[in-house]
C-alpha cells in the first residue's frame, strides 16, 4: 500500500511463481538458492534439523511473510534450514540480483524487510529465553502470551486465530507432542484460555497467563 503504482509494476515484472502441495518439502538444509521468497498463499514451516534428525521449528510463515533473506543480505547461497508446505502453498520468488536492485530503487521496501528481520531477531531471543529459563508449561504460556501480544490483543475476551498444530508446538518448544497436549489442556482447564473448533484461541485471564509465563504457579 505504501508503494507507488510504478514500483508495484516493477516488482511484478521480476516475480516468478511456484506452487507446492501440503507436506511437500520446498527446500532442505544445504540446498542451493539465490532467490528471495514471498508467501502469497498458504503456510510454510521453517525448521532446523540436527544431525540426529531432531527438528527445531523456527517459525511458521503465512501470506505476506518471506524467507531467503540470507541470500540477499548475507550472500549465502545454501539454505541452513528446511522449508515445508503445511498447506497448498504459492510462492513468489525473485532472484538475488534483481532483489538487490529493487531494494536500491525502493528504500521503503528495504525498511519493511529490515523491520521484519528485527522482529524475527526479537522472536529468536524470546525463544532462547523460553527454552533456557522455563519448564514446558511456562514455555507454552509464554508463547501463547507472545501470540496475543503480536496480535495487539491483550485484554480478557480477546480472540486470535490459532492454527498451530501440537506437533509444531512441540518442535518449537523442544519437547514432546504428548507434553504439549497435556500442558495445553491444563492451561485451558484452569480457565486461562479457551480453544474453539474454528481454530481460534480466546484469552480468558491475561493476568494468570502472564504469571504462568513467568513460572508463577496457577492459583
Q: Is the pLDDT of residue 20 over 70?
A: yes
**Number of domains forming the structure of the chain:** 2
Domain span at residue 204 reads 134-213
Q: Which of 6-15, 98-107, 131-140, 176-185 has the lowest mean pLDDT?
A: 6-15
CATH of the domain at 31: 2.60.120.10
The CB-based long-range contact list for 61-64 (8 Å cut-off, 24+ gap) reads 63/39, 64/38, 64/39
Per-residue pLDDT of 92-104, as tens digits, reads 999 999 988 888 8
Chain-wide mean pLDDT for the chain? 87
Q: What is the pLDDT of residue 80?
A: 86
% residues pLDDT > 90 (the chain): 46
Structural domain contains residue 125: no
Q: Is the pLDDT of residue 5 over 70?
A: no
Instruction: Among 119, 145, 164, identify where a domain stops.
Output: 119
pLDDT at residue number 183: 95
| Residue 174 predicted with pLDDT over 70 | yes
For residues 89 and 19, what is the distance between their CA atoms, to the nearest angstrom? 6
Amino acid at each position: 500500500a505504501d508503494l507507488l503504482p510504478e514500483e508495484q509494476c516493477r516488482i511484478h515484472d521480476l516475480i516468478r511463481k511456484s506452487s507446492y502441495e501440503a507436506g511437500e518439502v520446498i527446500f532442505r538444509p544445504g540446498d542451493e538458492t539465490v532467490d528471495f521468497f514471498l508467501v502469497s498463499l498458504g503456510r510454510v514451516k521453517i525448521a532446523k534439523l540436527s544431525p540426529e534428525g531432531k527438528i527445531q521449528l523456527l517459525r511458521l510463515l503465512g501470506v505476506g511473510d518471506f524467507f531467503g533473506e540470507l541470500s540477499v543480505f548475507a550472500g549465502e547461497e545454501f539454505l541452513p534450514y528446511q522449508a515445508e508446505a503445511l498447506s497448498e502453498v504459492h510462492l513468489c520468488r525473485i532472484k538475488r540480483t534483481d532483489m538487490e536492485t529493487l531494494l536500491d530503487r525502493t528504500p521503503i521496501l528495504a525498511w519493511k524487510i529490515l523491520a521484519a528481520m528485527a522482529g524475527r531477531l526479537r522472536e529468536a531471543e524470546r525463544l532462547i529465553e523460553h527454552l533456557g529459563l522455563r519448564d514446558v508449561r511456562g514455555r507454552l504460556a509464554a508463547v501463547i502470551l507472545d501470540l496475543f501480544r503480536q496480535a495487539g490483543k491483550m485484554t480478557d475476551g480477546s480472540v486470535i486465530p490459532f492454527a498451530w498444530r501440537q506437533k509444531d508446538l512441540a518442535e518449537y518448544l523442544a519437547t514432546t507432542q504428548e507434553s504439549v497436549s497435556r500442558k495445553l489442556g491444563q492451561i485451558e482447564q484452569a480457565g486461562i484460555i479457551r480453544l474453539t473448533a474454528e481454530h481460534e484461541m480466546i484469552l480468558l485471564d491475561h493476568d494468570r497467563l502472564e504469571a504462568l509465563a513467568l513460572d508463577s504457579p496457577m492459583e
